[in-house]
Amino acid sequence: MIDLIIFLSLLVLGYGAGSWAEKRHYRSIADRENATVNLPAVTLKSVDVPEHKIQSARLVYGSAVISVDYFKRILASLRNIFGGKVKSYESLLDRARREALLRMKEMAGNATVIVNVRIETSAIGKHSQRKNIGCLEAMAYGTALTVEE
């Protein structure tokens, strides 16, 4: 009986620590998004700016590898058996994409706008070929334009 209590206590502790770390990462993302809100990143191939006003154009990119914690992976495996929405994988995708966009914006520096933004995602790790995803990489890339005023 004591072994079961210890196991359940460790399970709850691990799940709580993983949830705390995820919430902390979300707060960090929100703060950094607020700091870069003035740098638009759009999927348009071009903007309505005369070519002679463009001072520079360069490729910028950001990459992030995010992992779901072990305990949420166990719960997601159970959800895969019974079906339904797998919230731990949804938050994994959301965090990876947003982090990659932020890193791309950081690389853009003092650019005016980032155009033709694309986001690629891929599962990585030894379980990536199966349904049990361990880590996810997101890569955002685009063209940073600096426009004279």
For 71-124, write each residue's pLDDT tens digit: 677 666 666 677 767 677 788 889 999 999 999 999 999 999 999 999 999 988
Q: Over 80: is that where the pLDDT of 132 sits?
A: no
What confidence tier does 130 reach under pLDDT thresholds 50, 70, 90? low
- Domains identified in the chain and CATH numbers: 2-147 (3.30.110.70)
User: From CA 146, how far away is CA 108, in angstroms rounded?
Assistant: 9
> Which amino acid is present at 14?
G
**DSSP 3-state of 126:** coil
pTM, whole model, 2 decimals? 0.82
CA distances in angstroms from 20 to 23, 85, 142, listed in the order given: 5, 21, 32
If you ran DSSP here, which 8-state letter would residue 48 be given?
Answer: S
| Predicted pLDDT at 144 | 94
Query: Which value, in Å, is the radius of gyration of the alpha carbons in the chain?
Result: 20
Over residues 48-71, the pLDDT tens digits come to 777 778 888 999 999 999 887 776
Quick one: tokens of 80? Answer: 């895969």
Averaged pLDDT for residues 123-139: 72
Q: Over 90: is that where the pLDDT of 44 sits?
A: no
Q: Over 90: is that where the pLDDT of 13 sits?
A: no
Distance from chain centroid for Cα 146? 26
User: From CA 52, how far away is CA 98, in angstroms rounded?
Assistant: 33
